[in-house]
Amino acid sequence: MRYSEQFMEHIEYAFHAFCKIVLRHEAINAWRDLKWKEEREISLDYLMSERYFEPSAMDSYFEKQDKPTVFLVFGKEVIIDDEQLATALSRLPKLRWETLLLYYFVGYRDEAIGRLYGRCRSTINSRRNVALKHLRKEWERLEHEEQKADTF
């Protein structure tokens, strides 16, 4: 099918008009983005000139003097760096802390944990929920003991 010269010229003009509209709207969007950044962002040079601060931070993951607590669960070592969490876990009965560590630290699902203990998935799920409640109570108890020790 052949189009007439006049129709082809019309299509070309229409395409040029479309491109101009798209470019104009993209320019408007770019201007809005720059305006938004200008209103909300602050230059690092400006911050450095106002007051001195260290523009970086060092993580202190491996700088602790406390030794991490190691729990052994079905031949797998689970290392807990947080002393308060390790203390709260150690106050729980063995089956409860084993279930929590297998699920949250080793990455086992309820079905796999159930196979280890010879129980069904729903039993392990309920045991884990009960263990979480008791862990929360132990955590609060430890915080309360620390607050008492700080006041004396």
Domain extent for 106? 69-151
What's the CATH code of the domain at 112? 1.10.10.10
The residue whose two tokens read 């699902």 is 109
* Residue 146, in any domain of the structure: yes
* Residue 99, in any domain of the structure: yes
Q: Is the dihedral of CA 69, 152, 92, 125 positive or negative?
A: negative
pLDDT at 58 over 90: no
Q: Note the pTM of the prediction, 2 decimals.
A: 0.55
Show the tokens assigned to 26: 């993209």
Burial class (CB in 10 A: 0-12, 13-18, 19+), 46: exposed
Residues 45 and 92 in one domain: no
126/62 Cα distance (integer angstroms): 35
Which range among 58-72, 104-118, 131-145 shows the weakest confidence by mean pLDDT?
A: 58-72
Residues 36 and 79 in one domain: no
Strand-pair partners of 72: 77
pLDDT band at 81 (very low <50, low <70, confident <90, very high): confident
For the chain, how many structural domains are there in total? Answer: 2
* Residue 101, in any domain of the structure: yes
49/62 Cα distance (integer angstroms): 33
89/80 Cα distance (integer angstroms): 10
Residues 74 and 108 in one domain: yes
Residues 79 and 146 in one domain: yes
* Residue 55, in any domain of the structure: no
Give per-residue pLDDT as tens, 105-133. 999 999 999 999 999 999 999 999 999 99
pLDDT at 49 over 80: no
